[in-house]
Amino acid sequence: MIVQFIHLILLCYGCSEFAGYYAKMPNTAFALWLTFSFLIIYYWLPSHTEKQTKNDIIPSFIKTYNIYTIFIVAWICLFFVFVNPLSALKDTFLAKSETLTIVIAMFLYLILLKPFMSSLYEMLKPVLAEKETLEDFLRARQTVPIIFFPPVIIWLVLEDMGLSEGMGLMSEIKTLTIAPVFLFGLYLLSPRLFNWAWKTENADSELVHRLKELSKKAETQIAGVKIWNTFNEPLPNAAVAGLISKFRFVYITDYLLKSFTDKQAEAVVGHELGHLRLGHVTSYLLFSINAIIIAILLKSTLIIYFPFFYVHDNLSYVLEIAIFIPIFAVTFTALARRCEKQADIFSSIITEKESFISSMQIIKLMLGTKPKWFPNWLLTHPEADERIENIRKTDISHINILIKSSNIQKYTLLGLLLALIIALINPLSIVYEFSKIYNASHTGNYELVENLRYSLPERLQNHPFVFEQKTIAAFYSGNYALAIVDSFKAYLRIDFKPEFLNYYQDSNPIKKLFSHFIHKK
């Protein structure tokens, strides 16, 4: 499911991290952005759609949808890079609000999504179900944003309410302390989010009875069964959500119920119950926390040991993306494929092996295969043929064997978590000292900044960050002459590797001094 969120993750990251980087002429950029948006939506898009439909060209849904959504994300990110609407709020709290940034990005995304998806609907109409209206098609495209945006906005509100005060990196580390609680709450309340996104309805009593009996066999109690509205799209799918049995539901699409036999449908649901019984939710929770710590460790390491990237913020963000996203993608998909195979075997044990195999064969026919160019090691689910072969050759006949395997998986992730926490101790202590210097500099306490500087390891005493904070402290205390001297020291006395010196010339601390002067005035 994470694959469906990638473009929205890029939207949030791009808009929040790169907002205003090239907003040299925001009014002009805004006028140009609006003009081109108008031309694209009202001239190019209708012309393109008409050309395709006239020539009876029916595009690939997945390919065209991905192209359109990536274009929308890139276009909105350009808006924030060159315009940054929050810059008009000047130095108010809202000018730094990530929540407001993402809310604006979200509304722009939903506004732009409608014309592009309407165009796609017109091109796909010959192959869509007769009952599927434009309203159905547009509503189906909104399910992912409905699931994605509310948790993101709640998280950002928590940050903006106080966790973002002080040094930026230190505030990110503070958010780590509430991340497990937030993720637990997200898993706990996910059924409500799914009910809203999918416009679910209660299943009939016979289906509820059958699936509750299956859940007892899986030793995973459920509160009920919900029919997942696919808005007349051919989507054979099922899901289970909710950490606590009182609020745990099985979700099954109306299309799956119509297209599968009772035993095949039970095999699909058995797979979802397997995710819960085998503790895959816990595995994903531990993985998420590990990913957060790795991100903090990467960022703090870059700032402390590679000051070149501290001086050049843009390159720092690019490097974070270049390192973190590939690590996240490869490791998460590997974990997901392993969990899927375990859940497949679990279902074949509590239902019937042949029922599960036949259900996978139907799903393969309906959904097709992945593009040849897409690597298997980036798939979250193994391909249907591989899953069928895996079930046929497995000799596991007892659930306890699977539970033991999944426990090893969880303990490995837990061990990695402990190792990452230990690895984070030293960088965290240095970042904490940097944070104290930051807080002292912004109160104009130059003497305290100087004392804190000499409490650092010798190699870090001439770090660009330290000299920048000395300059700020001198300026805020009214000692402008000392601020200028410290600016020159920062420019001339960097005791890091010589090859870094050429790069520092592009970020002359004197420029930063004047920016603080303008900011204060």
The predicted-structure confidence for 464-502, as pLDDT tens digits, reads as follows: 788 778 888 888 888 777 777 767 666 554 443 333 333
pLDDT of residue 465: 81
pLDDT of residue 153: 92
Q: Which residues of 88-100 are buried (b: 16+ CB within 10 A; e: fewer)?
A: eeeeeeeeebbbb
- Distances 65 to 43, 118, 121, 249, 374 between C-alpha atoms, Å: 19, 11, 10, 30, 16
CB atoms within 10 A of CB 488: 15
Q: Name the nearest CA neighbour of 254 among 239, 276, 274, 235.
A: 235
What the block records as the tokens of 441 is 């500099």
- Distances 359 to 164, 172, 363, 397 between C-alpha atoms, Å: 49, 45, 6, 20
Q: How far apart are CA 451 and CA 454, in angstroms?
A: 5
Low-confidence ranges of the chain (pLDDT < 70): 1-3, 88-96, 162-169, 172, 175-176, 307-317, 486, 488-521
Q: How far apart are CA 101 and CA 77, in angstroms?
A: 11
Residue 390 near residue 346 (C-beta atoms within 8 A): no
pTM of the model: 0.79
The second-level CATH assignment, the architecture, of 178-357+397-424 is 2-Layer Sandwich (3.30)
Q: How far apart are CA 96 and CA 16, in angstroms?
A: 10
Domain segments of the chain as ranges:
1-164, 178-357+397-424, 442-520
